[in-house]
Structure 1
C-alpha cells in the first residue's frame, strides 16, 4: 500500500488510493482521495479484495438499461468486495471491529418497503444508488457500507477469494435456487444449461452440481469452457466451433434441457436459448444485455417456455448464499491484480480472454 499522508483516530490514514471513473471522458485514473467518514448507519471496512463485474463495463458503453452518466465528479468503481470491520456506526447492529464481511451495493434505500423486499434498487423513495456505478464503490483501500447490506463471513473462509460471492456468487446462487424451485425433484435426471461460463457461469455450475443437477456449459471462449469443465459441467459446447450444438444438446438431454440459465449480456445468446429447452422449460434471465430482449409471445402463452428472472437479491438471500458456499466448499476462481494494474484488468475483461473473475487484492 502506498504511503499515506497523516492519520485519523491515531491509526487510520486520512488518504487512500482508488480506481476512479471520470464521467466526463469515460476514463479511469488511480486517484488519491480521503478515507470515508461513516454515518451512524454505516460501517467502515478495510477492503481486502474487490473484483470486477462485467456490468462495470456498462460505465464505458452506451446502454438502454437506465444507467445515465453525465458530467459529474469522479467516483470509485467496484460493487463487489469483502474486507474487515474497522469502525462501526452508532446505529449499526450486530457487527464489531475485526469482523470479516461481505455486502450488497445499494444505498439510499429504506430496506423496509415492499419494493425493497424484492430489490433495494426499486425502493419506493426513488433515490437508490449503486455503489461503484454512480457513487463511490470498492476499488479503494477503505470504504463505507450500510450495515443492513452486510453479512458476516465465516472465519475459515478465505477473504482473498471471497469478493466475487457478493455479486457474481449471490447472483448465480439466486439464479440456481430460483431455477431449482421450478424443476422436478429429480436432479440426477434433470438437465440445466448455463449460457456464459465466465465469472457468474462457473459459479452457477458449481451451485447446480452441489444440488445434484446435470449441467451443459455453453460459451464462445475456450478458456471459459475449460473453467466450466473444471467446475463440474457434464458437457460443454462452443457455438462457434460446435455449430450443431443445439441438436447435440437435445440428443444428450433427451428432448432438451429442463432449464437454461443465461448469464450473458448477449442478445443473440438469449435468442438461441429457447431452442435448448424442452417443452415447458425454464429460461432464467440473469445477464443484462445493453439492448432489449425479444421472445415469441406464443412460446410463452402456450407454455412452450417459462421466462423467469433472477438477480443479486437482498441481504437475507446473500446470507443463504454465503452459508451454502461455505457448506459445499464453493469458491470463485479469481485472477488477482494490483490497483496500479486496474486498466490492464479492464482490458482483459473486455477481451473475454480470462477464466473466472478478475480482482484487486489490497495489502
Structure 2
C-alpha cells in the first residue's frame, strides 16, 4: 500500500503492482511493463486513474527534434500527461483542499515551486530550472494508479463525466488558452471576426468549439478529411483541405472580403502549415502558435516590423487557467471526442495517431 497519506478512503485495498504503458529510452519503443503502485510524498495525491489520453506531443519521444528538448532519458517510465480520476489518498500537506473520493484532473509539470514569476506563466518556466513533465521524463498516467502534486489538480465540475474528459488536461486547456490569448488581441465584434484554425484534430476540434461558444466565425484548415469532417460536426463555418484544394488561400480571402482572417491559431506540429499562415491573415493579423513542430520555426523580420502580421504563443498554462477552462467547458457543453482503447492496445493506438487517420483524441479507459 502507498505510504505518506493522512487521509484514505474507507476500506482501501491496493494491489502491490500494476501494468503500465512505458517508453523505453534505450530502444525508443513503447512497452507494457509491470510496475509498483507509487508511494506519495506529503505534497502529493494518489489517484485511481479513470481515463488517460494520448497527445500528439507524446510522439516526440519517438522522434528526433531540433528544439533542444531532451526527452525520455534514463530507465523506462510511464507515458501520458493527460488524465483524470478519483482521489484515493492525500499527503499531509494537502490539507482540506482535496479529499478522497474527489473527482479531479490535473496538469503534468512537477518539481517546480509553483510560486515564482515564471510559474505564474508556465510551471516549465520555474526559476529553479528543475521542472519535469510527467509522461515525458518521469512516470505519467497510462497506468491505473498515479501520484500527482496537489497544486496541479482541479476538481471536475458537476455533471462532467470522467470517461471522455482526459484530453481536457492538456489538449483542452491548451486549446482554450490559445483561443483566449487570441481573442484578447482582437478588437472587432465576434460575429464579424474571422479566425482560422489550422489543424482540426485533437486540439483543433476543441479550439473550434471554444471559438464558436464565443461567437466567432471559424475557418478550419487541415490535410485530413476525417479532421475536416470533425470540424464540420463542431460547427466550423468553412473548412478547407490545404493539400488538395490549391485555391484555398484565395477562397479564404474571398470569404473574408479580400482581406484575410483577423487571426489564425495553429494546433499542429507541421512547419509547412506555419509557413503558409501569413497568407491567410489580413494586415497585422495575429498568428497564434500552439503546436510545436520538430524543427524551429523561422519568420521574416521585415514582415513583423512592417506589421504584415503579429506572432504570439500559448500553452497549457497553470492550474487557475485550468479551472476556468473546466468551468467554461461545463457551461457550454464542450467535451472532447475520444476513441477509447484498452491498455494492451497501446501500440495500436500509437500507430493510429502516427497515421493521422483519426478523429478527435485517442485514449485508454481504466476499470
- Alignment of 1:37 with 2:14, yes or no, is no
Q: Tell me, what secondary structure is at the counterpart of 2:315?
A: coil
- Report Cα offsets for 1:63-98 as digits up to 9, x if no partner: 122332466110000000000000011101410000
Which of structure 1's runs of 4+ aligned residues deviate more than 6 A?
A: none
Q: Following TM superposition, by how much is the alpha carbon of 1:13 offset from its aligned partner in structure 2, in angstroms?
A: 1.1
1:65 counterpart residue number: 67
Task: Quote the Cα distance in structure 1 between the aligned partners of 2:100 and 2:243.
Answer: 51
Name 2:183's counterpart in structure 1: 180
Residue 277 in structure 1 maps to residue 315 in structure 2: no
- Paired residue secondary structure (1:278): strand
Aligned to 2:306: 302
> Are 1:362 and 2:366 an aligned pair?
yes
Q: 1:275 to 1:200 in 2, by over 3 A?
A: same
Secondary structure at the aligned position of 1:12 is classed as coil
Question: Contact conserved, 2:72 with 2:136, CA < 8 A, in 1?
Answer: no
The residue aligned with 1:124 is: 127
Aligned to 2:203: 200
Where in structure 2 are the equivalents of 1:1-363 lying within 5 Å? 11-69=13-71, 72-93=74-95, 94-254=97-257, 255-363=259-367
Aligned 8 A contact 2:61 2:72 in 1: no
Distance change >3 Å, CA 111–CA 57, structure 1 → 2: same
Report Cα offsets for 1:176-206 as digits up to 9, x if no partner. 0000101124000100000000000000000
Q: 1:30: Cα distance to partner?
A: 0.8
- What count of residue pairs does the alignment treat as equivalent? 356
- After TM superposition, give the deviation of residue 10 of structure 1 in Å: 5.6
Kindly state the Cα deviation for residue 28 of structure 1 after the two structures are TM-superposed.
1.1
Tell me which residue corresponds to 2:3. none
Cα distance per residue 1:215-248 (max 9 Å; x no partner): 0000000000000000110000001221100000
8 Å CA contact retained: 1:161, 1:333: yes
- Residue equivalent to 2:6: none
Equivalent residues of 1:100, 1:155 under 8 A apart: no
Q: Which runs of 5+ in 1 are unaligned?
A: 1-8
The two structures have a TM-score, normalised by structure 1, of 0.96
In 2, the alpha carbon distance for the partners of 1:265 and 1:71 equals 22
Q: Is the 8 A contact 1:24 1:70 kept in 2?
A: no
Q: Taking structure 1 as reference, are residues 183 and 24 closer, same or farther at Cα in structure 2, changes over 3 Å only?
A: same
- Secondary structure of 1:86's counterpart equals strand
The answer to whether the 8 A contact 1:205-1:215 is kept is: yes
TM-score, L = length of structure 2: 0.95
Q: RMSD between aligned alpha carbons?
A: 1.2
